[in-house]
Amino acid sequence: MKRYNLQAEVREETGKGVARKLRRAGLLPGVVYGKTRKSQPLIVDPIQLQNKMSGNVIFDLTIVDDDKETKETVMIKEIQRDPIKGDLLHIDFQHISMDEKISVSIPLSLKGDAPGVKEGGVLQQLLREVEIECLPADIPEELELDISDLHIGDSLMVSDLDVPEEIEIKTPLDEVIVTVVAPTELVEEEIEEEEEEFVEPEVIGEEEAKKEEE
């Protein structure tokens, strides 16, 4: 589990205008909140966050308020970006306790080569992350799933994941993560989806004509 130091300043003023002014100055508006603390607006230097926002990362956050400093442990809860440019707009931090379990989403990584693909099948990954609950220090970067025994028609479910005993999986165990299907099955599924999406348009006046015929 990656862990970094981060510094932020208390933000006294809030609102869209203030946020835009901060971003023009090269700063990032943010907020920190949690079950045991009130929400507090912050100002963060985005340079400190470079290459530190992927995955579930823990930050030892130092919050500066004039001449006072407080320290707490946080994780990134949400990042807002400009939908076109991709620039950072806002960041939410969640206060955590290292001795209290939390729920997080963990990406899934498929390992090995499925024999079913060589047999002509198509590998479909239906689930790309699962929700787990554990102590912050026990959060893995990813969970691996071996697909080297998958033949055509075979599937692996959440229950097939091998996780340490300190980690509890919250995602339903019967959800399918990956499967190998025959190409004909894949084509049939696509045709069925297209037929379901097609709705015959109603002809204006058709209903009235039927009533008159009755």
The pLDDT value given to residue 213: 41
- Which of the four pLDDT bands, split at 50, 70 and 90, describes residue 55? confident
* The CATH number of domain 3-95 is 1.10.8.80: no
Q: Identify residue 109 by its one-letter amino acid code.
A: S
pTM above 0.75, yes or no: no
> CB 114: neighbour CB atoms within 10 A?
23
User: What CATH number was assigned to the domain covering residues 102-197?
Assistant: 2.170.120.20
Give me the residue spans of the domains in the chain: 3-95, 102-197
Instruction: Dump strand ranges (E) for 56-101.
Output: 58-65, 68-81, 88-95
8-53 pLDDT, tens per residue? 999 887 888 888 899 999 999 999 999 888 999 999 999 999 888 8
Q: What is the mean pLDDT of residues 131-153?
A: 95
Contacting residues for 109 by C-beta, under 8 A, at least 6 apart? 142, 143, 144, 145
With contact defined as beta carbons under 8 Å apart, do 52 and 4 qualify? yes
pLDDT: is 2 or 170 the higher one? 170
In the numeric block, the tokens 């992927």 are attached to 54
Give dist(CA 198, CA 70) in Å, integer: 60
Q: What is the mean pLDDT of residues 156-170?
A: 95
Q: What is the mean pLDDT of residues 95-109?
A: 94
Joined together, the tokens standing for residue 108 give 């899934």
The pLDDT value given to residue 172: 97
- Which of the four pLDDT bands, split at 50, 70 and 90, describes residue 167? very high
Helices (H), 4-161: 16-24, 115-118
104-123 pLDDT, tens per residue? 999 999 999 999 999 999 99
Give dist(CA 134, CA 78) in Å, integer: 20
The pLDDT value given to residue 210: 44
CA distances from 127 to 18, 108, 130, 139, 190 (A): 40, 8, 8, 19, 19
**Longest pairwise C-alpha distance within the chain:** 87
